[in-house]
Amino acid sequence: MKKALISGITGQDGAYLARHLLDNGYEVYGTYRRTSTPNFWRLDYLGIFDKINLISADITDFSSILDAIKTSQADEIYHLAAQSFVRASYESPIATANIDGISVLNFLEAIRLHDESTKFYFAGTSEMYGQSVQYQKMKLNEESPFNPVSPYATAKLYGYWTTRIYRESYKLFSVSGILFNHESPLRGLEFVTRKISNEIARIHLGLSKELRLGNMDSKRDWGYAPEYVEGMHLMLNSKTPKDYVLATGESHSVREFVEEGFKLIGKDPEKYVKSDKTFRRHIDFDLVLGDSSKAQKELGWKPKTSFRELVKIMVNEDIRRWEKWQKGERFSFDAPYYKEMEMKKRGREVLE
Ligand code: NAP
């Protein structure tokens, strides 16, 4: 039986990937960070909490990672844990550099010293492309130049290059997925898609009267997260270690997401959506569009869920959750609920 170790198993991608690997017969281990209140709601929601082996670890600490690798004896490691909010990377740039960048070195060094045959996946991001005028008319692929515009993106770029250097210098099977935005009902509430679906659900049920948003004209290439984790698995199981872009190749604006969502509840967004400058990024860019033809050709990966279906899945699921909440059922839902309280206090939102 193959063994996999997932860092960030409590996050959106980590939870979906764990389910995917379990479905494929893997023994799954996951690292999580020790907190006073454990954040296992996604694993519980997917019904896999009892099926995985959890290891408490600090990804910024080499010994902790080496221990996790020794404990799991994993054949495949998926390093997904990250401080994944662009805006928060301005609040804590040094921590972000450690968590998102240096942690990659901890994993690669531990693999090199423990067992060089262990395969390694790093969660790269389209944020590494950042902003460039030339991108306005381009679909971005594995050859496109990087131009990061946030501490988050520079930290990720460090991880990407280090993963590549270890592949080329030490011949490790270490690859990066350059993933464009991917969303789902398990997306954190800070992210704009989930913020929209959650608030539309609440408006539908009479629990809210407004949706406050920053730049409605920002466009992104939004896919469905469960399909993207399949791409990660394919990358580690292909013959040759290579980096791949995963994207839908379509872009849609925040405004379109809002309009599609409000259509589902039969209400006019004009009456509910308020513009709020505090939700804007330090440096924003209008359009991010990916070209995943290499992954489609070489891995057989393909995005299947349309933009409209994605909005529907997310809004309907948030309606279902809030309906349950109204009936007094709150278990799997407590984490997003408290997160919402925190967001109200801090007032922040990002696009990835
Ligand atoms: P997510 O839902 O925010 O999950 C992030 C995970 O990292 C969680 O398990 C979180 O743990 C963990 N984490 C955060 N800070 C940590 C720290 N200091 N030490 C250890 N663990 C920490 O993110 P996601 O959407 O699943 O994304 C997975 C990966 O893909 C991330 O690296 C992200 O940057 C990257 N990515 C995501 C997208 C996207 O559109 N979703 C696109 C490109 C790349 P807690 O549960 O304890 O908070």
- Residues 142-185: tens digit of each pLDDT: 999 999 999 999 999 999 999 999 999 999 999 999 999 999 99
**Which pLDDT belongs to residue 189?**
87
- Residues 72-92: tens digit of each pLDDT: 999 999 999 999 888 889 999
Is position 163 annotated as part of the catalytic site?
A: no
| 94-110 average pLDDT score | 98
The three-state DSSP-derived secondary structure of 123-140 is EEEHHHCCCCHHHHHCCE
How does strand 252-253 pair with strand 219-220?
A: antiparallel
276: number of Cβ within 10 Å: 14
What single-letter amino acid sits at 133? V
**Which pLDDT belongs to residue 120?**
98
Q: Please tell me the distance from the alpha carbon of residue 175 to that of residue 295, in angstroms, as a whole number.
A: 13
- Residues 342-351: tens digit of each pLDDT: 555 555 444 5
CATH topology of domain 192-219+250-287+306-337: UDP-galactose 4-epimerase; domain 1 (3.90.25)
- Residues 226-281: tens digit of each pLDDT: 999 999 999 999 999 999 999 999 999 999 999 999 999 999 999 999 987 665 55
Domain boundaries, the chain: 3-183+222-246, 192-219+250-287+306-337
**Which pLDDT belongs to residue 37?**
76
Q: Pick the catalytic residue from 10, 125, 163, 305.
A: 125
Mean of pLDDT over the chain: 90
What single-letter amino acid sits at 260? E
* Span from the CA of 272 to the centroid of ligand 1 (angstroms): 30
* Span from the CA of 269 to the centroid of ligand 1 (angstroms): 31
Q: Please tell me the distance from the alpha carbon of residue 290 to that of residue 246, in angstroms, as a whole number.
A: 7
- The residue ranking higher by pLDDT, 191 or 19, is 19
Same fold for the pair 3-183+222-246 and 192-219+250-287+306-337: no
Is position 127 annotated as part of the catalytic site?
A: yes
Q: Is residue 294's pLDDT more than 90?
A: yes
In three-state secondary structure terms, 215 is coil
Structure tokens at 5: 């170790």
User: Ligand 1 pocket check: which of 58, 80, 84, 180 to mutate, most ligand atoms within 8 Å of Cβ?
Assistant: 84
Residues above pLDDT 70, as percent of the chain: 89
> Whose C-alpha lies nearest to ligand 1, atom 20?
33
- Distance set, CA 150 to CA 101, 172, 319, 327 (Å): 13, 29, 34, 42
Q: Is residue 21's pLDDT more than 60?
A: yes
- Of ligand 1's listed atoms, the one at least distance from the Cα of 186 is 2
Is position 170 annotated as part of the catalytic site?
A: no
At residue 137 the predicted structure's pLDDT band, cuts being 50, 70 and 90, is low
CATH topology of domain 3-183+222-246: Rossmann fold (3.40.50)
- The residue ranking higher by pLDDT, 183 or 333, is 183
